[in-house]
Amino acid sequence: MDHLSSSAPPPGAHPFSGLDPDRVLDALQSVGIVGDGRLLALNSYENRVYQVGCEDGPPVVAKFYRPGRWSNEAILEEHAFVAELAEREVPVVPAMTIEGRTLHEFGGFRFAVFPRRGGRAPELGDAATLEWIGRFIGRIHAVGAVSPYRVRPALDQQTFGREPADYLLRHDFLPRELRATYASVAEQALAGVARCYERAGDLPPLRLHGDCHGGNVLWTDGGPHFVDFDDSRMGPAVQDLWMLLSGERHEQVRQMSDVLAGYEDFCEFDPRQLYLVEALRTLRLIHYSAWLAMRWDDPAFPAAFPWFNTQRYWQDRILELREQVALMDEPPLWPV
C-alpha cells in the first residue's frame, strides 16, 4: 500500500469519518459545481462515490479516494491512461478537467469528478456481446502496451498472492483451529500459481483495466463502455479477459473463443497467457480475503460483508483453494 498522505485523518479515526453530505457538496462547490441537494451514494466500498444532482447541468459522479491507498502520482497516472483511451475514442469515462486539474482536494479528502454515464449489465452469455467487449478490450490493451506505468504497482504473484496470504496469517482473522490448514493450502496454491507462471514463460506486462468484470462494463444501445479504472495496474493481458468467463469448462472455452474473436482484431494475443487463467483466479481469491481483512475497521465492510471472518467463511476458502490447486494442473482453456 502507498504511504498515508498528509491529508489523511488522524490515527484511530476511520478514513471516511469526516465525509458527510455537506462536505461532499462543499467539495464540489470548491471547484465550481453547485449541487441541487440530490445526493445518491453509489455501490463502492474501497472509495466513496456519489451521484450528485447539479443546479445548472446534468448530474455528475464524484469519487472520493480512500486516504492512504494511492499516492497523488498513482491516481494521476490512471487518469492520464483513461484520458489517453478517450482520445482514441475507446468508450471509457475519464475524469473531468476542472481548472486545469483532474484531482482535487478539500477538507482532507482527494476527489475527482466524472460525467455520469448510465448503462445496464452486459449479456455475457451472448456470443456477439462477448466479441464486442473483446474488441474494446483489445483496443484498451493496444494503448496500454504503448508505455508502462511508472508509479502504479504490478499485479503479480508477490503483490496479489504472497503478501496478502502473509497478511492474513500475521493477523488474528483465521480461527486458531484452521490457521495451519489455511497456511498449508495457501502454500500449495501459491506453488501452483508459480508453476502456471513458469509454463506461461516471459510475458510482457501492460497497462490493464485490472478489474474487468461485468459490473464494470456498462451496456447501452451503442455498445459497451468501461468504468472504474481504480484497480488499473501493470499485468498480463489475460487478467482483463478471464473475469468475463463463467460456468462449466466447455462454456468457458466457448466464451474465451468469443472474446478473442473480437480482441484479436486490435491486439495480438499470446496463447501462453491461457496458462495464467486459473493462477490469476487463485491470486484474486487470496487477495480478496486479505482486502476484506485490511478494510474491516471501515464500518461499511462489516455491514456489507457480515459473512466474512466466520468459521464457515474460512472453511469455504480452504475448500476453494484446494479446488484451485487441482484446476491449475489441468490443461488451459484453449479456444475452439
Q: With beta carbons less than 8 A apart as the criterion, state whether 164 and 286 touch.
A: yes
Q: With beta carbons less than 8 A apart as the criterion, state whether 298 and 15 touch.
A: yes
Residues 6+ apart with CB under 8 A from 32: 98, 99
**pLDDT tens digits in sequence order for the chain, 336 residues long:** 333 333 444 445 678 989 999 999 999 999 999 989 899 999 889 999 999 999 888 999 999 999 999 999 999 999 999 999 999 999 999 999 999 999 999 999 999 999 998 889 999 999 999 999 999 999 999 999 999 999 999 999 999 999 999 999 999 899 999 999 999 999 999 999 999 999 999 999 999 999 999 999 999 888 899 999 999 999 999 999 999 999 999 999 999 999 999 999 999 999 999 999 999 999 999 999 999 999 999 999 999 999 999 999 999 999 999 999 999 999 998 876
- Residues forming beta bridges with residue 109, ordered by sequence position: 106
Angstrom distances, CA of residue 87 to CA of 93, 143, 189, 228: 11, 11, 41, 17
- 202 flagged as catalytic: no
Q: Which residue, 160, 241, 237, is CA-closest to 203?
A: 237
C-alpha cell at 41: 451514494
pLDDT tens digits for 157-176? Answer: 999 999 999 999 999 899 99
Q: Name the amino acid, one letter, at 255.
A: Q
Q: Which of 156, 172, 202, 228 is catalytic?
A: 228
Q: Which of 2, 211, 265, 329 is catalytic?
A: 211
- 211 flagged as catalytic: yes
Q: Which residue, 70, 62, 80, 77, is CA-closest to 5?
A: 70
What radius of gyration do the chain's Cα atoms show? 21
The runs of H, that is alpha helices, within 103-175 are 127-144, 157, 163-170
Q: With beta carbons less than 8 A apart as the criterion, state whether 190 and 198 touch.
A: no
